[in-house]
């Protein structure tokens, strides 16, 4: 009986050690929750993120790094920073990589809480179900946010990236749309000062 109890305690101990070993150590001030993995020895390797100079980053299918701003481990979600729009232009920094593209074989997708604004689009976009009207919120971004000044008076649109949309990309191209930004949890009529810039991604929980 004593031996059994000791065995039980020993294996419990092992389980506890194993689960704490599995979570990665902090990246700067960021707690990195399981299954996210900053290196071979921790987390689950399919959920790779990068700790570059104490900044936690996500890498897209094109090898572009996006800074992680916030993680909600209980919802399996994290928010990345939209790439900057380059000064005196209407080009997002990831334009020549085709925008944000996620590897469809990895357990990440774009959540349904994102409102995307696209800028400097070609006329073809008007045939899509996007809101490209003169009262689209993208007009406010162009006129009132410095980062958007380079996009002023270009054709722009916004849309909710819901389940009807592709959940692995926000596509950009020269001759299509050349810049974008994104808001998390935006509700119509939310004033500009309260906009929450980011792109919310989700991970499929590991089994």
Ligand X SMILES: *[C@@H]1O[C@H](CO)[C@@H](O)[C@H](O)[C@H]1NC(C)=O
Identify the residue among 105, 163, 193, 194 touching ligand X (CB under 6 A).
Answer: 163
- Quick check: 150 binds ligand X (CB under 6 A)? yes
Identify the residue among 109, 185, 190, 196 touching ligand X (CB under 6 A).
Answer: 109
Identify the residue among 18, 175, 187, 191 touching ligand X (CB under 6 A).
Answer: 175
- Quick check: 129 binds ligand X (CB under 6 A)? no
Q: What minimum distance in Å lies between the beta carbon of 129 and ligand X?
A: 9
* Residue 35 or 150 having the CB closest to ligand X: 150
* Cα–chain center distance at 164: 18
Yes or no: say if 170 and 121 are a contact pair by the CB < 8 Å rule.
no
- Quick check: 136 binds ligand X (CB under 6 A)? yes
Identify the residue among 23, 131, 145, 147 touching ligand X (CB under 6 A).
Answer: 131
Q: What are the phi and psi torsion angles at 192 (to 5°)?
A: -45, -40
Instruction: Return the SS3 of 58.
Output: strand
Count the site residues for ligand X by CB under 6 A. Answer: 21
Q: What minimum distance in Å lies between the beta carbon of 131 and ligand X?
A: 4
Strands (E), the chain: 50-52, 55-59, 65-72, 77-80, 99-101, 108-110, 114-119, 157-160, 169-171, 179-184, 199-203
- Write out the two tokens for 119: 């800028």
């Amino acid at each position: 009986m004593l031996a059994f109890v000791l065995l039980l305690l020993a294996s419990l101990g092992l389980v506890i050690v194993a689960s704490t070993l599995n979570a990665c150590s902090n990246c700067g001030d960021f707690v990195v929750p399981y299954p996210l993995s900053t290196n071979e020895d921790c987390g689950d390797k399919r959920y790779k993120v990068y700790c570059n100079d104490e900044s936690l980053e996500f890498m897209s299918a094109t090898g572009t790094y996006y800074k992680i701003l916030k993680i909600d481990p209980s919802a399996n979600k994290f928010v990345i920073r939209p790439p900057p729009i380059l000064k005196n232009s209407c080009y997002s920094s990831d334009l020549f990589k085709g925008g944000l593209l996620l590897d469809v074989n990895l357990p990440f997708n774009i959540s349904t809480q994102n409102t995307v604004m696209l800028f400097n689009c070609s006329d073809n976009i008007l045939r899509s179900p996007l809101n490209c009207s003169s009262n689209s919120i993208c007009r406010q971004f162009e006129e009132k946010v410095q980062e958007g000044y380079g996009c002023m008076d270009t054709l722009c649109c916004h849309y909710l990236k819901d389940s009807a949309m592709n959940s692995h990309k926000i596509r950009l191209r020269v001759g299509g749309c050349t810049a974008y930004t994104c808001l998390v949890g935006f509700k119509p009529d939310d004033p500009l000062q309260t906009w929450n810039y980011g792109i919310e991604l989700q991970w499929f929980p590991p089994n």
